C-alpha cells in the first residue's frame, strides 16, 4: 500500500510518472464507482475544488467531511476515524494541522492516504507547481538545470517545492528573513535528493538568473496572532517588479494562493505577464488526478 504524505515518498521516476499522468489528455477511470473521503481540519478553496473534481473525472464520488463531523482525537481517535472511512472509500485525503495525524492514519489505513496539507508538507501543491513549470519549459526534462527561487517563510509549501524541484534536477534558492529559515534537518533532507541548494537572507541574491520566482503568504493559517509582527520582519521580501527584473528574462511567477496583495507580492506582479498563478491553480486539479491514478495503480 502506497501513501503520499510528502514529495520524497516518491522516487524521481514515480514523480515524473505522476506529472505525466497529470498532463495526459485522457486517463483511466481509476475510481469508477468508488468513493474518496476528503477530510478537512482546515478550510480550503483550491484543495476542496481540485480534489473533488479530480475524483469526479476519475469516475469516483468525493465525500467532503467537515472537522466537526468527526472531531479527530476529540469525538473519535484518528485511528478509529481512519478505520471507519476505510470501510466505505477507496482512498482518503486529509488536510490537517499536525503532520503526525497523517502518519497515524497511514499506520492503520487499508487504502491510500493523501496529504492535502499539513504543517510540514503540501505535496499536492508541489505537484501542481512542477506541472506548471514543466508546461512552461518544455516538459519535465526541460526543468533540469533551471533555478527556482522561493522568497519568504520556509514553510510547508517551500519544503515540498524544494524537495520536488531538486528531485527533477532543478537548483533551489531560498531567501527568508532571519529566524524564518529551514532547519538543519530540512536542509539535509533537501540536499539528500541531490539538490543544488542555497539559502540566504537576500531576495535579490536568490532570484538572480532564476527561471521561477515563487512566494507564499507571510502568515499561514494558525499564525494569525503573529501577522503584525511578521509584516514588520518580512519588510523587503515583497516580490515586486524590481525583484522580478533580477530574475531570468523568461522567468515566471508562481504563488500557491490565496495572495495578500501588497504584502508578499505586488499587484503588478500577480497580474503581470510573467504570472502563471491561474494556470498553477488549475493544475492543482490535474496534478491531483495524476496522483490518484498512480496511487490506484499501486494497490
Q: Strand 171-175 vs strand 61-65: parallel, antiparallel, or unpaired?
A: unpaired
Long-range contacts of 222-228 (CB under 8 A, 24+ apart): 222/97, 222/119
Instruction: State whether the Cα torsion 202-204-209-212 is positive or negative.
Output: positive
Name which of 205, 276, 221, 290 is nearest 18 in CA terms.
290
Q: Is 125 exposed, middle or buried (0-12, 13-18, 19+ CB in 10 A)?
A: buried
Please identify every residue annotated as catalytic. Answer: 95, 122, 125, 216, 256, 284
Count other Cβ atoms within 10 Å, centred on residue 101.
20
Q: Answer for the pair 32, 56: CB distance below 8 angstroms, yes or no.
A: no
Amino acid at each position: 500500500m502506497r501513501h503520499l504524505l510528502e514529495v520524497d515518498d516518491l522516487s524521481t521516476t514515480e514523480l515524473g510518472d505522476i506529472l505525466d499522468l497529470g498532463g495526459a489528455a485522457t486517463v483511466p477511470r481509476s475510481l469508477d464507482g468508488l468513493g474518496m473521503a476528503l477530510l478537512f481540519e482546515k478550510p480550503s478553496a483550491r484543495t476542496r475544488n481540485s480534489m473533488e473534481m479530480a475524483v469526479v473525472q476519475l469516475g469516483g464520488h468525493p465525500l467532503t467531511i467537515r472537522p466537526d463531523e468527526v472531531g479527530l482525537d476529540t469525538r473519535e481517535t484518528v485511528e478509529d476515524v481512519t478505520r471507519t472511512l476505510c470501510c466505505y472509500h477507496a482512498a482518503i485525503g486529509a488536510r490537517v494541522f499536525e503532520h503526525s495525524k497523517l502518519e497515524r492514519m497511514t499506520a492503520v489505513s487499508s487504502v491510500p492516504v493523501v496529504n492535502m496539507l499539513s504543517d510540514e508538507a503540501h505535496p499536492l501543491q508541489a505537484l501542481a507547481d512542477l506541472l506548471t513549470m514543466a508546461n512552461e519549459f518544455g516538459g519535465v526534462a526541460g526543468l533540469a538545470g533551471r533555478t527556482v527561487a522561493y522568497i519568504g517563510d520556509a514553510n510547508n509549501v517551500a519544503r515540498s517545492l524544494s524537495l520536488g524541484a531538486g528531485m527533477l534536477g532543478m537548483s533551489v534558492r531560498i531567501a527568508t528573513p532571519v529566524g524564518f529559515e529551514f532547519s538543519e534537518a530540512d536542509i539535509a533532507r533537501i540536499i539528500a535528493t541531490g539538490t543544488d541548494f542555497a539559502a540566504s537572507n537576500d531576495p535579490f541574491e536568490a532570484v538572480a538568473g532564476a527561471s521561477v520566482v515563487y512566494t507564499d503568504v507571510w502568515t499561514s493559517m494558525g499564525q494569525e496572532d503573529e501577522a503584525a509582527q511578521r509584516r514588520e520582519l518580512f519588510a523587503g521580501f515583497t516580490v515586486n517588479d524590481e525583484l522580478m527584473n533580477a530574475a531570468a528574462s523568461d522567468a515566471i511567477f508562481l504563488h500557491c494562493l490565496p495572495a495578500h496583495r501588497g504584502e508578499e507580492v505586488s499587484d503588478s506582479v500577480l497580474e503581470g505577464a510573467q504570472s502563471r498563478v491561474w494556470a498553477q491553480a488549475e493544475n492543482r486539479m490535474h496534478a491531483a488526478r495524476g496522483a490518484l491514478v498512480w496511487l490506484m495503480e499501486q494497490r
